[in-house]
Structure 1
Amino acid sequence: MSAATNETSLTGADIVLKALRDQGVEVIFGYPGGAVLPIYDALFQQNDIRHILVRHEQAALHAAEGYARSTGKVGVVLVTSGPGATNAVTGLTDALMDSIPIVCLSGQVATHLIGNDAFQECDTTGITRPCTKHNYLVKDVNNLARTLHEAFYVAKNGRPGPVVIDIPKDVQFAEGTYRSPADSMPKSYRPQVKPDLNRVEEAIDLLAKAKRPIFYVGGGVINAGPVASQLLTQFVRMTGYPCTTTLMGLGAYPASDRQWLGMLGMHGTYEANLAMHGCDVMVCIGARFDDRVTGKVSEFSPNSVKIHVDIDPSSINKNVRVDVPIIGDAAHVLEDMIRIWKARGKQADKAALAEWWEQIEFWRARDCLRYDKTPKIIKPQYALERLRAAISGRDDVYITTEVGQHQMWAAQFLPFDKPNHWMTSGGLGTMGYGLPAAIGAQVAHPDALCIDVAGEASILMNIQEMATALQYRLPVKVFILNNQYMGMVRQWQELLHGGRYSESYSEALPDFVKLADAFGGVGLRATEVSQVDDVIAEMIKVKRPVIVDMCVDQKENCFPMIPGGRAHNEMLLGPDEKVENATPEDGMVLV
């Protein structure tokens, strides 16, 4: 334990550690440097909080995201001043875009040096202001404990997000008074969690009268905790209505359920996108109508009455005008919706709903995720189907991804029945996210199977974190769909830029099997279809970090696809066909 035991007079560094313990923190992801050495010294003298040494500060943030998203807890990061803080910016922005609760502690030069261009000084609070939910510069050690407790409250309440606390080195050395969490509650930030019941009743009346309803669910339901997902499932099944989820919402509603239409948006399913386009009442819960979901905003779900449930008032009417705004926590709102639906004796219009489902089943029969299974070369979709078969029935699987085609294929072909088992970079689209996120999930769940579905380009962004996995004996699996291209860039160049593949081909890739061996892990490779199952089985069996080099078709594209700026009924279903002007009345028209 720390030598400082007097709670009324602790050094700043010891105040940090005591505040973290009082907040229930068990793990910190970080990288030391001169401006945070007092905190690292305090860490050395205690055994309550585990520190995971990453190899890059960006990876520290992504690892904390993986930890936070797989547990529902706040992820904690510790970085030094200057480049330590600036390296963290990408991870902070990623967490902000995807609403992940993170508290990032950054060292700063001594207070009397701030503004003097001192060694490893930067304006951390200025730089991180646009990419955090809130940030602080603590110049008085007596304000440190209150700031730390407030930061945790801000990070996890309301719409979650990252918070930075910049702590000068002299403040870490100085002695000050410790304040408990109970004495440090912020007075000015009280997010609204209970909805306006009049709005909820209005929404229930509209849902009961709907002829072609749909639930549109985002990551906000997952952020609201497992109860929210349970209530969502209960309410959707109670109504009998179809449900679609965003990329970030996968797992909020069971993918195995017949009422789930698949993912919505740019690479969403045919049936989900056309149902959204043709619905008459839409209830959006915990999603923010981002451009990858809406496509052309002026033609997004053009004839529907829109209900929007969100805890963040600034998300209401930000991108799409809605008819019934409901501000509140998803769990509380769903609880009230279920109660009012039952109390009012509401029921769906059975005849209209049967007709709606008949239309949806017609779209679903299109089998939009089908692909050519005849070639001898490994198709990426086939590799993921075999991975899905290998992990089927297991509750201890956590999937992360990098960013690109492989990310979308993973979302399409790896179904999730529970929340918090799917972690990907949605809003920022950060290459290099998956490996450190898998490490964070593995730290949180030591006995679980944590797999990063990767591309050969993305994995190189943070490949150094294999050393982190080896140091801490974290048996993460990296499942590379290697097509030797920046796949999504190549796909857009093919479809939208006349096949001019400018700088998207990787001409000097490492041997991933040898690279795994160089780090001290296990490398496996499949070049033929007949090898896929054996490689996947070996990957799962090995209790060490593994890199799988799955050599897949270089020319395969990810469909369906809605080109940027187009509407949901203008999907490209494959290289030779597209859907145009499909409506609930006339079904699909192939041209």
Structure 2
Amino acid sequence: MTGAELLIELLAKHGVKDVFGYPGGAIMPIYDALYGAPVKHYLTRHEQAAGFSAIGYTRSTGKLGVCFATSGPGATNLVTSIADAMMDSIPLLAITGQVPTAAIGSDAFQEVDVLGVSLAITKHSYLVERAEDLAEILQEAIHVATSGRPGPVLVDIPKDIQLAQVNFKPWLAAEDYQPEVDLNEVAKANELLKEAKMPVAYVGGGVHAADAQDKLMAFLNETRMPAVSTLKALGSVLPDYEYDLGMLGMHGGQAANLAVQKCDLLVCIGARFDDRVTGNLSKFASNAKIIHLDIDAAEVGKRKPAEASLIADLHDSLPLLTHPQTNESWLTHIKSMMVKHAWRYDYPGEKVFAPYLLNKLSQTMPSNGVVCCDVGQHQMWVAQHMKFNSPKNHLSSGGAGTMGFGLPAAIGVQVARPDDFVITVSGDGSIMMNIQELATIRRNNLPVKILVIDNQRLGMVRQWQQMFFEERYSETILSDNPDFVALAAVFGIKGQTITKASEVDDAIQTLVNSKGPYILHACIDEQENVWPLVPPGAANDQMVTEVK
């Protein structure tokens, strides 16, 4: 078979049924091999969107996400989505075409050193230099992307190797390295758990990566330990857990941040002490000893020292922790903080109040529904005011914070889970980053729902300009936005615009009950801010709750 045919056959052998991409000259043999193949291709209208769709596909299912792009600008257009996958530890296989081997290094048409460009944003990258190596490289690439701490892998395949006759060679992987838990560290951790009076579980995206939600909930239910979550971990702690404090960090809930700042033991479960979580690192959980559970040894001690470190798959490490009951006086204090700092939805104004809107959506949409967020104020409101029963149902660009993520990610989710309710929540700034994907929704008749929260501003940047830059609103006013409902109508997508609080309930019902794709355009006050906010350089218990 040809190299291109081999690629498609290997993907099918590894259970890949759907891929996302955009064709071009240097990848044409692969697109020819796709013709009539069992692997279905979804044409996006930009390569970045192909990458994000593949990310949505894998994050909502646990299956490998795959995207294709041609050489040169096709490959460089993938860079942002690959970087996003790297920051959030997402298993992604990116296949790029390259100019023929003989032309590499000659500045040929659409030639870019994709291997060099991608080294800093992939778990591993390959340039296939010999046709006889193709089968082994592809199999190894899939293994690397999905094993250990997952991440994106890029394989750059010259056009002549796609056309060359090749034989299938099974790649014999060495036995996977699985870090074994150090029993001495387990003993230290269990002693710390026994001594703790005010423990808190700090839950990160590693729970999702390890598919270890059941192990997490077993630990929490046994210990009754208060739990806080990172943005990427939301949904890992089930919403009916009595001591779930929600998200912590820069825009975390007050009860979550105050609990972490007061605790005497922080049990870090698959998290990495990201700067948006910790605020002033030296003051973060400064009274607490730390137990750190992670599969990646490089994360342990990178930003905060740990008294005990369990470096292993969470399936193996979490069950080794003992389950002493959490101190009742601490739990009483936690409960009082949850009541004192509960979110309020009795907004006094007549305009649409985004927190109420999103809370209403959370209560109305099916429990297995998936929310794909863009980046900005709306992203934080979703994290604060919506509930999820699985991290597979809340997709948000975490480490990279990529605007334009939401719409193509939702497309990938809808392809992977065709019978589930899928919605992207976007802002009027973010939606314009990949608005062309309305064409992909129409082309494939995907019932993706779209909620645009519109303040005619780049809201998060405007909020910082208001608070820290003397209200000098440089390039954040978007008063020349298009009519989003009319724009969607051009692509055959129905929708409506709302401007008043009194319209919210009916509009949410219409959105959720619509049969095909639908856009709800919600106009909010341009001065509305996300609260609380931990200012730069402050400790997490120094939250601002309004503009002074």
Deviations for 1:138-158, whole angstroms, at most 9, x for unmatched residues?
A: 011111111111111111111
Find the partner of 1:208 among 169, 173, 194: 194
Letter in 1 for 2:133: N
Which TM-score applies when normalising by structure 1?
Answer: 0.91
Q: Tell me which amino acid in the other structure corresponds to 1:202.
A: K
Q: Secondary structure at the match of 1:139?
A: coil
* 1:429 and 2:415 correspond: no
Moved more, 427-436 or 356-365: 356-365
* SS at 2:154 equivalent: strand
Q: Deviations over 1:31-89 (max 9, x none)?
A: 0000011010000032x111000000111111011000000011001110000110000
Letter in 2 for 1:113: A
Identity %: 46
Q: Residue 221 of structure 1 aligns with which residue?
A: 207
Equivalent in the alignment of 1:97? 87
> What is residue 9 of structure 2 aligned with on the other side?
18
Q: How does 1:123-272 map to 2 (within 5 A)?
A: 123-180=113-170, 183-185=171-173, 190-225=176-211, 228-272=212-256
Task: Give, as a single letter, the amino acid of the residue that structure 1 aligns with 2:450.
Answer: V
- How many residues in Structure 1 have an aligned counterpart in Structure 2? 548
Amino acid at match of 1:185: A
1:587 match: none
Determine the structure 2 residue equivalent to 1:390.
364
Instruction: Give a deviation string over 1:416-458, Cα, whole Å, max 9, x none.
Output: 1223111000000000000000000000011111010110110
What letter is aligned with 1:201? A
Whole-angstrom distance in 2 between the partners of 1:194 and 1:60: 37
2:491 aligned residue: 519
**Contact 1:150–1:186 (8 Å) recurs in 2:** no
Counterpart selection for 1:357 from 322, 328, 331: 331
Cα pair 2:201 2:268 within 8 Å, conserved: yes
TM-score with structure 2 length normalisation?
0.98
Q: Distance in 2 between matches of 1:492 and 1:575?
A: 11
Amino acid at match of 1:195: V
Give the corresponding residue for 2:442.
Answer: 470
Report deviation, 1:264: 0.9
Question: Kindly tell me: are residues 83 and 17 of structure 1, through their superposed partners in 2, closer, same or farther at Cα, counting changes over 3 Å?
Answer: same
Corresponding letter in the other structure for 1:243: A
2:309 aligned with 1:325: yes
For the pair 1:335 / 2:309, whether they are aligned, the reply is: no
What is the deviation of 1:197?
2.4
In the alignment, what sits opposite 1:287?
Answer: 271
The answer to whether the 8 Å contact 2:232/2:391 transfers is no
Contact in 2 for aligned 1:66/1:423 (Cα 8 Å): yes
Aligned to 2:387: 415
Q: Which one of 115, 120, 125 corresponds to residue 110 of structure 2?
A: 120
- Does structure 2 conserve the Cα–Cα contact (< 8 Å) formed by 1:137 and 1:166? yes
1:308 and 1:374 map into 2 onto residues whose CA distance is 44
What is residue 27 of structure 2 aligned with on the other side? 36
Residues 479, 550 of structure 1: 8 Å contact kept? yes
Rounded to whole Å, the distance in 2 between the matches of 1:277 and 1:335 is 26
Does the Cα contact within 8 Å between 1:97 and 1:427 map onto a contact in 2?
Answer: yes
Other-structure match for 1:277: 261
**Superposition deviation, residue 368 in structure 1:** 5.1
Amino acid at match of 1:316: V
Question: 1:313: how far off?
Answer: 1.2
Q: 2:536 aligns with which of 555, 564, 589?
A: 564
Partner of 1:347: 324
What SS is found at the alignment partner of 2:391?
Answer: coil
Partner of residue 411, structure 2: 439
Q: Closer, same or farther in 2 for the Cα pair 1:470/1:27, shift >3 Å?
A: same
Between 322-331 and 113-122, report the one with greater CA deviation. Answer: 322-331
2:466 to 474, 494, 503: 494
Q: Distance in 2 between matches of 1:358 and 1:60?
A: 48
Say if 1:476 and 1:544, in contact at 8 Å, map to a contact too.
yes
State the superposition RMSD in angstroms.
1.3
SS at match of 2:340: coil
Task: Report how far residue 566 of structure 1 moved.
Answer: 1.0
Question: Which deviates the most, 299-308 or 530-539?
Answer: 530-539
Q: Give the Cα–Cα distance (whole angstroms) in 2 for the partners of residues 73 and 201 of structure 1.
A: 35
Alignment-mate amino acid for residue 121 of structure 2: C
Aligned equivalents of 1:289 and 1:72: distance in 2? 24
Q: Does 1:369 align with 2:331?
A: no
Q: State how far apart, in whole Å, the 2-side matches of 1:119 and 1:283 are.
A: 53
Q: Residues 267-297 of structure 1: CA distance to partner in whole angstroms, max 9, x if unpaired?
A: 1111111111111111101110000001001
Gaps (5+ residues) in structure 1? 1-9, 577-591
| 1:119-155 deviation line (CA, Å, top 9, x unaligned) | 0000000000001110000011111111111111111
CA separation in 1, counterparts of 2:443 and 2:179?
A: 42
Q: Contact 2:455–2:523 (CA<8 Å) still a contact in 1?
A: yes
Q: Which runs of 5+ in 2 are unaligned?
A: none
Paired AA for residue 27 in structure 1: D
> After alignment, is 250-259 or 109-118 more displaced?
250-259
Change (3 A) 1:496 1:366: farther
Q: Distance in 2 between matches of 1:13 and 1:575?
A: 58
Cα distance between partner residues in 2 of 1:347 and 1:53: 53
Distance (whole Å) between structure 2 residues aligned to residue 335 and residue 35 of structure 1: 50
Q: Distance in 2 between matches of 1:234 and 1:326?
A: 18
Equivalent positions of 1:26-65 (< 5 A) are 26-46=17-37, 48-65=38-55
Post-superposition shift, 1:523? 2.2
Distance 1:25 1:388 in 2: 32
Instruction: Verify the 8 A CA contact 2:367 2:389 in the aligned structure 1.
Output: no
Residue pair 1:369, 1:559 contacting (<8 A) in 2 also: no
SS of 1:573's equivalent in the other structure is coil
State the 1:389 CA deviation: 2.3
CA separation of 1:186 and 1:27: change in aligned 2, threshold 3 A: farther
